[in-house]
Structure 1
Amino acid sequence: MNKFYGTGVAMITPFNADGSIDFDGLKNLINFQIEGGVEYLVSLGTTGESATLSKDEKKAVWEFTAETVAGRVPLVAGIGGNATSEVTESIKKFNTQGYDAILSVSPYYNKPIQEGIYQHYKAIAEVSPLPVILYNVPGRTGSNIAADTTLRLASDFKNIIAIKEASGNFEQFNIVLRDKPEDFLFISGDDPLTLPLIALGAAGVISVAGNALPGLCSSMVRLCLQKKFDEALPIHFRLTNFLKLLFCDGSPGGIKAALKHLNICSDTLRLPLVGVGEATREKITQELEKLK
C-alpha cells in the first residue's frame, strides 16, 4: 500500500458561524493540501469533529470531498465508534467511490478488554470493502490497542493494512515495528513523534499540523523516508513550538485558529469544543508567520 507512505492529513471540518458545514471552506482546504504536496487525505477522523456530525452530514462531507479531490490523491474515510454493529452497518452503507481505505478508531468509552478490541476489528474487517487502518489513541478512547492485539490483527486479516499509532508508548511502538508483517504499515498519529518513528521504520504520519503547513510537513516526512535525517531534523525542530501550541487549548481548536489566519476557513467549532484563548491564538499566529 505505497499510497499511504508519506504525509496524510487528518482534515478539519470547516463550519459556518451558524454551525452548518462550510463546503466552500472545505474546498479551499482540500485544494490547499493537494497543492502543498501531501500524499493523501483523511476525511472525518477525530480532527474532523466527526462525533458531532449527523449521518447525513457525514455522507455529504464524504461525497463532497471525493468529488473535490477527483482522484488527485488517495482518500481515507474515518468510520469508527463504540457500538460494533453500528460501525459495521455504516461501513456496509458507505459509498466507496473515490476512497482507498477506512480509518477506524478503537472503541471508546466502553473500555473493552483486548479480546473485545480484536473481535470489534474482526467484525469490521469481515464487512469492509476497503482496506482498514486501525487507529489507537488511548488518550481519547480510554483503552489501548496492545502490541499483541495489533500484531494478531495484522496477521489474521490481509485487509487490515496499517495502524495509526497515537499512544505515545515507545515500548509498544518498538514491539509492533519489530514484529509486524513486512507489508503492514505503522503510521505516526502524533506530529512531534514522526521523525523518530520513521527512523524506527514507520511509513509516515497522519498529521494535524499538515492542515496549515502541508508543504513543510510533507517535505520533512519525505526527507525522513529518504533517510536524510540530517536535513529533516532542522524542520522537525522548527515545528516544535507550533505543534505544542496546536494542542495546548485542545484540538482541533488550535489548527482551526491557524487556518483562519491563513484565510482558508473560519475557526468555528461545535460544542462541546470551543475556540482557543486569545493568548494562544496570538502565539499560534506569531509562530505560523515564522514558519510560512
Structure 2
Amino acid sequence: MEFKTFDELPELPDEHTPQDDTPRPILEEVRSLRKHVIPRYPMFIGRDRQAYVCVPVSAVSRKHAKVFEKEGVFYIQDLGSINGTYVNGKRVLDPVPLKPGDRIKISVTKQYKNGAKEFEFKHDLSQQEELQKDREMLLEDVQIFADDESSSGNVLIKDCLFYVSKKDIVSVIKAEPPRRIAVSQISFRKAKVSFHSLCPYKVKDQLILSVEHPQLPKNMKAQLRVVETEEQEHYGITTHHCEMLKLSDDDKRAFRDKIDASPLICYISSKTIENALETDS
C-alpha cells in the first residue's frame, strides 16, 4: 500500500513524552563513546537498517540481539546469530541480566576479535547528565563553530537539538524512535532543510523534523521530503537536502520570535556556513 500524502498516514505518538522520571539505562559504544538510550520496548541490535542500533557489517546478523526490560531488570538475548553475542567475554544464548559496567560484544570473529561492536551497559546517570554529555559529544563530533551569545535573550538556532523520524506506516507500527541529526541549514523562504546523519535516508523519504530546546514552549515540527543525498568523505556521514512540505503558522512564528540566527554545522573540510537560519520578513 502506497501513501501519497501525510493525511493518509496515522498520527505519530508523542516521541519525547516520558512515562515517568526514572532515568533510562544506556549502551555506550566503547570505541566511539556514542550512547544509545534503552527504550521502554525491546531494543534490537543488528545489520538491518530498521534496527534500533544498526551495525552495517556483514559479520553481524540482521537481527542479532535484543535488550529488553522485565520487572525492572534489563536483559540481553542473542537471537540465533551466527557469530554470537558476548557478555564479559562469555557467549550467551538465553536472556542474561545486565548490571552497570557489563561489556557486550556483538559478533566476535577473526576479523573482529573485540567484536564488530562493543558496548558498556550503564545505568548510573541522571537524565539531565546523560542529555548534556550526549549533546557535548555530538557538538564536538560535528564541529559546531562558536558564535557570540544572543543579545535578545532568545534561543540560538545552534543550541537547539534536532531529531528526525520517518513518516511512513512501517515506522509508525514499529514505533521507531527519532534519530538525532545535525542540521546545517534551514530556509523558510526557499522551504529547504539540510542535515547530516550517520543513518542515511533515501530520496523521496518523508520525515518529521523536531526542533527542541528547554526554553522553547513546545517542540516545533516540520514535515520534510528528501530530494537529494550526498556522502561526506572521511566522515561516514550522509548529507540530506530536503524540501519543507508543511510548517504550521504557530511554529513559523515561534521560529521567527523565539530563535535567533547563528552559524550552524560546518565540517573542517568545508566553508563556514553563515546566516544558516533564514526567516520570512
What's the TM-score once normalised by structure 1's chain length? 0.26
Ranked by relative contact order (alpha carbons within 8 Å, sequence separation 6 or more), the top structure is 1
Higher helix fraction (1 or 2):
1
Higher strand fraction (1 or 2):
2
Structure whose CA Rg is larger? 2
What's the TM-score once normalised by structure 2's chain length? 0.26
